[in-house]
Amino acid sequence: MDRKQDLFNYASLALFGRVNASISHELKNIMAIISETAGLLGDLSEMAKGGAGIDPDMLISSIDSIAEEIERGFTTIRQMNRFSHSVDVPIGSIDLMEVLDLVGQLCGYLAFAGKMRIHPCKDTAPIVQTSPFILQAVIYQTVAGIFQKTGPDKELNVSVQPRDDASWQMLFDGAGITAVEMPGGDGIERMAASIGVAIHWEPAEDCLEMKIPFSI
């Protein structure tokens, strides 16, 4: 088998593994909160049986907490579902803002990630015809790579605008990226190139640019 293709396939599978691991960690944390809150309600019930008074405000806040965590769980599962369906079609039309929204949500599950501030696109919806999964993988790995170097206290600005009459420009800046090597590694450039995306990295300017063609 072709080694480059093997590495490419492995990188794709590794992304699935990484994203699923972070989602499962998030769901476990949610379950842990629900479990402890339910356990506390059980403890308070035992104390009430023994004649101790129960603070109604504590009961209400515990019940509200369980409801909030269930909603958080559903939100997490929705993101997992969006991510899973990104492989439904090999090539399709996608809105870059929707991809950024999903990547922002998924990166939020990484312990080392900071905040991603996605600026609205002033022009018409930035639609491209490309491989949804590979583009998402390139953007996700780039953002995760940036935060791995800059840490959880940083805020990364992301914006999309027309670059020329054949491509969009996606800019990442403001997180204090100063590392010499490309966030996400060499594999990212190869993966990006497979769908015609060019990555230009200027650490001195704290800026990374992706040129994304309207159509591959």
Partner 1 sequence: MNILLVDDERKFVTMLARRLELRGFAVTCVYTGIEALKVVQEGAKFDVAVLDVKMPGIGGIELRRELQRLDGDMKFVFLTGHGSDRDYSVGAKEAALYLPKPLKIDDLVDVLSKVTGKTAGGRGENLSQIKSD
Query: Which one of the spans 18-26, 88-96, 169-177, 198-206 is the region binding partner 1 (CB under 8 A)?
Result: 18-26
Q: Which amino acid is at 38?
A: A
What does the H/E/C string look like for 64-97?
HHHHHHHHHHHHHHHHHHHHHHHHCCCCEEEEHH
Contact (CB, 8 A) for 172 and 143: yes
Identified binder of partner 1 from the candidate list 28, 85, 117, 119, rule CB under 8 A: 28
Query: Which one of the spans 34-42, 130-138, 177-185, 196-204 is the region binding partner 1 (CB under 8 A)?
Result: 34-42
Owner of token pair 């966030």:
183
Contact (CB, 8 A) for 38 and 70: no
Closest distance to partner 1 from the beta carbon of 167 (Å) = 35
Q: Footprint of partner 1 on residues 91-150 (CB under 8 A)?
A: 111-112
Check binding of 67 to partner 1 (CB under 8 A): no
Closest distance to partner 1 from the beta carbon of 22 (Å) = 10
Alpha-carbon gap, residue 126 to 97, rounded angstroms: 7
Contact (CB, 8 A) for 118 and 97: yes
Q: Which stretches of the chain bind partner 1, using CB under 8 A? A: 21, 24-26, 28-29, 31-37, 39-40, 43, 46-47, 49-50, 52, 62, 65, 69, 111-112, 151-153
